[in-house]
Structure formats: structure tokens, C-alpha cells
Amino acid sequence: MTDLIRKGEGKPLRDAMRRHGVTQAELAARTQEVDVRGQGVSVATVVKVTGSGRTAAEKCRLRTAWLIATALNEPLQQHFDMPSVSTDTVERCNPHGDSDPR
């Protein structure tokens, strides 16, 4: 599963929360409202993703990031970056099969 990296050590998320006037607990509740499963994101996870200091998490799951951004009514890309391409996920065979036609 793809993890996203929060931008600016979470400052853009905290700024968005201030703009919208929501606390971490209120943001967690909003994620339940936008989640089709009704689960949302736990308060503990919201604290990790939006927080600062040693307890903060720099990465989170794509679904978590999407629910938080949607609950804030802001674009996902404004708050999270995709990780760089890993060599483990790069296709290594040529488009016509594994054999080299030379």
C-alpha cells in the first residue's frame, strides 16, 4: 500500500485546521462523515499526522491522507507528497516480453 509524506512537517495541515476552525478531535469526526465506510480516521492518527515533535508521523496511508484532506475540503496535493519512485516498483522488462530481439 502506498504511503504519502506530509508536507512541511504537517504545518500546512495545521494551518488548514486553523482556517477551518477545527480541532484534531473535530477533524477526526469529520473524516467519519466523509468516509463511505463510516469509519474515518481515529483521533490518535489525526494527532500523529497533524502534530509536530517526536510523536508526529511523517508518512500515512493514502486512504488516511485522502480522508483528512477531504474532511478539510482541500486538495490532497496541498498537504501530502507522493514518495519518490522505488526501484522495486519499476518495470524492468521491455514492452515486448523478456527476450531481447538483438
Per-residue pLDDT tens digits for 10-29: 999 999 999 999 999 999 99
**Inside any domain, residue 97:** no
**Inside any domain, residue 99:** no
Count of structural domains within the chain: 1
pLDDT band at residue 82 using 50, 70 and 90 as cut-offs: confident
pLDDT of residue 81: 92
Q: What is the mean pLDDT of residues 54-70?
A: 94
CATH number of the domain at 32, please: 1.10.260.40
26 Cα distance to chain centroid: 18
Instruction: Answer for the pair 13, 46: CB distance below 8 angstroms, yes or no.
Output: no
Tell me if residue 102 falls in helix, strand or coil. Answer: coil
**Inside any domain, residue 25:** yes
**Inside any domain, residue 79:** yes
Side-chain half-sphere CA neighbours of 88 within 13 A: 3
What's the CA gap between 59 and 38, in Å, rounded?
Answer: 23
**Inside any domain, residue 52:** yes
**Inside any domain, residue 102:** no
**Inside any domain, residue 32:** yes
**Inside any domain, residue 89:** no
